[in-house]
Amino acid sequence: MDDGIETTLLLRHEEEEEGDLTQRIWEESKKIWRVALPAVISRVCGFGTIIVTQSFVGHISGIDLAGYSLVQTLSVRFVNGILLGMSSATETLCGQAFGAGQHHMMGIYLQRSWLVDFITLTILIPIFICGTQIFKLFGEEESIANSAGYLSLWFIPFVYNFVFSLTMQTYLQAQSKNMIIAWISAFQFAIHIPLSLLLIYTLNMGIPGAMIAMSMSSWLVVIGELVYIFGGWCPHSWKGFTVAAFKDLLSVVKLSISSGVMICLELWYNAFLVLLAGYMEDAEVAICAFSICLSLNIWECMICIGLLGAACVRVANELGSGNAKAAKFSVKVVVWTSIMIGVFFFVLCLVFGEKVACLFTDDDRVANEVSDLSLLLSLSILFNSIGPVLSGVAVGAGMQGVVAIVNLVCFYLIGIPLGVLLGYFTTLGVKGIWIGMIGGVLVQTLALLFMTWRTNWDDQVKKASERLNRFYLESNEHPE
């Protein structure tokens, strides 16, 4: 009789635990998507602007599609990687400050990030001014290098929007106020296509029209976000411009550099694929095909980068508030969410991967090459759905330096050498390069999973508290 009672109680306890776990997963998922959904919409729409412009350029000129692909994949990604990495320091600080209730410090962190990012980008602008010479130095065909150099100049007004858009997104995201970003980005993407049609075909401006449309629509997002912040919708975190933004810049730069290296090593990795493709036979076709595949891969990756931001915010918020257990649980939920998204798009790409090239080009050679690479594209999408989220966990915990080392080893000491070996010393050719790089991504994902599993979250709570106290005290600002 006693055994029966014990069994009944045990079963009832297990049912309650299961119900409690289901409820906890649901509540955590709502918190994650409250941050992630607007970020996903904004990033998908933002990168969608680049994809749409690439499509218009491809239908105008094949050689300009190759030039655009080089600039967008190499130069823009190089700069974007640095600025995104620098901005992730703002993500760490704002997320932990919000969790700790130091709301007034968030506006100061935002202004510091503007200063750091603007100076950094201005130093990097010669990359676009000297585009032709740089691509010729890398050994690209003269016609492709000339086209890339011409298009590089048109990208300059576009890349300056990163200084404000990337930092303001992290600032608003940390406060769960990023729904405004989603609405602005969706509006921008909606008008980008008709604006491009107007400038390219109605006004017959061709390539310049496509580039002007891209710059104009991207700056609409920046203007909208500035109006929202300055207009009084962030009263607790935005106290106006202050000289405190000029203090402690060196400390912010140090954290930004480690963040920048971590993100850059990850974003630049695929760029080497396009660079190596330029040395293959029929470089124009190879570059166009690879850039189309990579653009689609990155477009899907924008969803996971949105989850990266959510992972960073949730982990940073919980660490800032001293809740190690909640931070650990959030990591588990967001990782499984990312895996399910990756599997969905893996299947979708297998079904439609052979038909997407027609959106970018009328060249049958490029379309056939894209079709031939569709399986590798599907695998890349699957593996790239996990790594960014784990990187977001690291950013939220302030472990950027460790992840930078992992990315360096996995991508540049394993992936690229393996890709070169398979691509140039076997009959696989360009497929071999991509297989090697997928291998690097797989090793990186496993390493980050192991690192996340071994993380002592109680220690991370202590480190977050020390970091916030250090930055708070050094600013000498006590407005509240």
Is 284 within a domain?
A: yes
pLDDT score of 122? 94
Is 15 within a domain?
A: no
- Domain containing 381: what range? 35-475
Is 54 within a domain?
A: yes
Is 174 within a domain?
A: yes
pLDDT over 80 at 263, yes or no: no
Mean pLDDT value across the chain: 80
Of 319 and 145, the one with more pLDDT: 145
pLDDT bucket at 269, cuts 50 / 70 / 90? confident
Is 117 within a domain?
A: yes
- Calculate what percentage of the chain has a pLDDT beyond 70: 83
Please state, as a whole number, how many other Cβ atoms lie within 10 Å of the Cβ of residue 133.
12
- Residue 292's contacts (CB-CB under 8 Å, 6 or more residues apart) are 54, 69, 356, 357, 360, 361, 366, 370
Element (H, E) at 409: none
Is 320 within a domain?
A: yes
Q: Using one digit for the tens of pLDDT, what is the confidence trace for 29-39?
A: 888 888 788 87
* 124 alpha carbon, distance to own chain's centre: 19
pLDDT score of 445? 85
Of 393 and 164, the one with more pLDDT: 164
Beta strands in 262-411 (DSSP E): none
pLDDT over 90 at 310, yes or no: no
Summarize the confidence of residues 25-32 as an average pLDDT. Answer: 83
pLDDT bucket at 450, cuts 50 / 70 / 90? confident
CA dist., res. 271 & res. 269, Å (int): 5
- Residue 101's contacts (CB-CB under 8 Å, 6 or more residues apart) are none
Is 9 within a domain?
A: no
Distances in Å between the Cα of 433 and the Cα atoms of 208, 279, 368, 419, 469 are 34, 12, 18, 4, 47
C-alpha torsion 219→223→226→228, nearest 10: -130
Is 458 within a domain?
A: yes
Of 8 and 216, the one with more pLDDT: 216
Question: How many separate domains does the chain show?
Answer: 1
